[in-house]
Structures are given as structure tokens and as C-alpha cells.
Structure 1
Amino acid sequence: MYNRVIMLGNLTRDIELRYTQNGMAIAKSAIATNRRYKTQTGEQKEETCFIDITLFGRAAEIANQYLKKGRKILIEGRLVFEQWVDQSGQKRSKHSIAVDNLQMIDRGETPSNYQPQNSYQQNSKPTQDYQAPSVKEEIPEIDIEDDEIPF
């Protein structure tokens, strides 16, 4: 089986960064992508797709520091089906993307030749239910000026 998703879109909200008890960083946000099309009557329509994304480890910390609502990003990851029971006891579910590669896109720039090796790649491999690995990693302080960002 093959599970690979590539999406280009804008962040719909600021990054929400949390840490597990083991010190693993987990960042959540969502992206929106648009599709323009013509109906059979020739009318121009646009539909927007919103999907939640999750980043792990160092990628989560970098995303938290540099990404804000509205920023255009290119992500590559895998589709994940999440299930839970809400406060009223109802079973809920949704699809989201566990991000493996992230590329920040400047305003107005679209990638003409997407190359994952030029993007930020995750070091950690999360489990399907987002539990941190048993190894505790040291999380260094990030002190980088905006003009020093390599991407």
C-alpha cells in the first residue's frame, strides 16, 4: 500500500505547539487549498478544502517559530484517520496529514519543480496515534535571525 500526500496551501491558523511527557514537540495547524472550475453552464466556481496537519520534533519547533496564519507552505506526508469520543460521548473522526516534509513558500512564489530533498525533513517517525517514541531527546533553544533561515 502507498500513502503519500502532497499539498500546497495557506495556513488557516497559527501553529499550536505542545510537548509530550517525553519532551517530543507536536505542532498542529491546518491548511486551505483552492480549486477553480467551470460548471456545465460555464459559471466559474471555486471550492476550498481545509485539512488539519501535524508536525513532529524539530519540524514542529521550526514551524512554530516561523509560520503564521496565511503563510503559504508545501507539505508532503501521509494521510491519517483519527478517531475519538467527544465530551458528549459521540464517536468522531477526521482525516489529517502527518507531515514528513515541509517547504515554506514565499508570497507569490509557487514551486516550479518540487524536490523533497530541498525541504525540511522530519527526523522522527511518529506512531499512528501520535504517541512520542520512548527515547527522550534534548530540545535546543532556537536563536536564529530571520535573515539566517536556510529555506
Structure 2
Amino acid sequence: MFSERTGNSVGFVRHGTTDTNLILERSINRVQLLGRVGQDPVMRQVEGRNPVTIFSMATNEMWRSGEGEPTSTGDVSQKTTWHRISVFKPGLRDVAYQYVKKGSRILVEGKLDYGEYMDKNNVRRQATTIIADNIVFLSENLRDQ
């Protein structure tokens, strides 16, 4: 690509704008999670907005203490991480609501989203959400339905 400002070849794309100082660079926000659903999905709709399907998903990380040593006989440990999944895409949102079930093994692809909300005690909280744009069903019972 060619930069109008410097006359050099660069790795960014200038978006059509009148502000010559604004440069938009390519970036990636991509997440893949493979795990099990922690709760049946719920569909919520805030007035004036499109509905969203929401569910939780667990991923597990396992390791053996002393791993990497030639005679590793340590205990196996596991850490479970819970993720909040939101599905806004109309077709996928409805499929997720209908077929995602607690305990299902799924692969979710999407992007990370950070936000804030006020809890019931008017305390500002931060929330991390995965905005799903693809779900692959891996549980046998769901593929047969």
C-alpha cells in the first residue's frame, strides 16, 4: 500500500475521511473456545434493541505438577474458567436458543467484548463477553436431532 502522507509503502489502509490524521490499521479480535455449556440459554430483549441469546460456557485447563521433569509423577490439577457467550446474529441466535443445552460440548468462535453495567445495588461492574458469530455442535445427541 502507498501512504499519501509519506509517499512510502506501508501496511495500513486509509478509510475515506476528510481527517488526514486519521489512519485505520488492520487488527484482529478473534476467540475460539471449546468446552461445555453451563446453563440453558436465555433470550433477552432490551426495549428498542434486537434480542440476544445468552449462555455460559466452561473451559478447563489441566496440568500435572512437576511437568517437564523426566519422572513426572505429580498430581493432576485443573482450573475451570467460565465465559459469558452472547449471540446477536439473527439466524444463529435462534439456533443457539433452541439447540444449545446445559452440558453440551460446543466450539464457539467470535470476538471479545468488554463493557460496564450497573448491578442491582447501583455498583458499576465490568463484564467480559464473547460475541459469538459461529457455533459448532460437538455433542452426539445434538447432531442427531
TM-score, length of structure 2 as denominator length: 0.68
Gaps of 5+ in 2: 1-26, 67-72
Tell me what 1:69 maps to: 102
1:94 aligns with 2:127: yes
Decide which moves more: 84-93 or 35-44. 35-44
Decide which moves more: 76-85 or 39-48. 39-48
Higher relative contact order (CA 8 A, sep 6+): 1
Tell me what 1:122 maps to: none
Amino acid paired to 2:30: R
What is the distance in 1 between the residues matched to 2:46 and 2:92? 15
Aligned length: 111
1:103 aligns with 2:136: yes
1:50 aligned to which of 82, 92, 111: 82
Percent of pairs with identical residues: 29
1:27 aligns with 2:53: yes
Q: Show structure 1 runs of 4+ deviating over 4 A.
A: 20-23
Tell me what 2:117 maps to: 84
Tell me what 1:3 maps to: 29
Larger Rg: 2
Decide whether the 8 Å contact of 1:35 with 1:46 is kept in 2: yes
What is the distance in 1 between the residues matched to 2:46 and 2:119? 21
Q: CA RMSD in A?
A: 2.2
CA displacement 1:35-66 (0-9 Å, x = unmatched)? 11012382210111100000011211111111
3-state SS of the aligned residue for 2:96?
Answer: helix
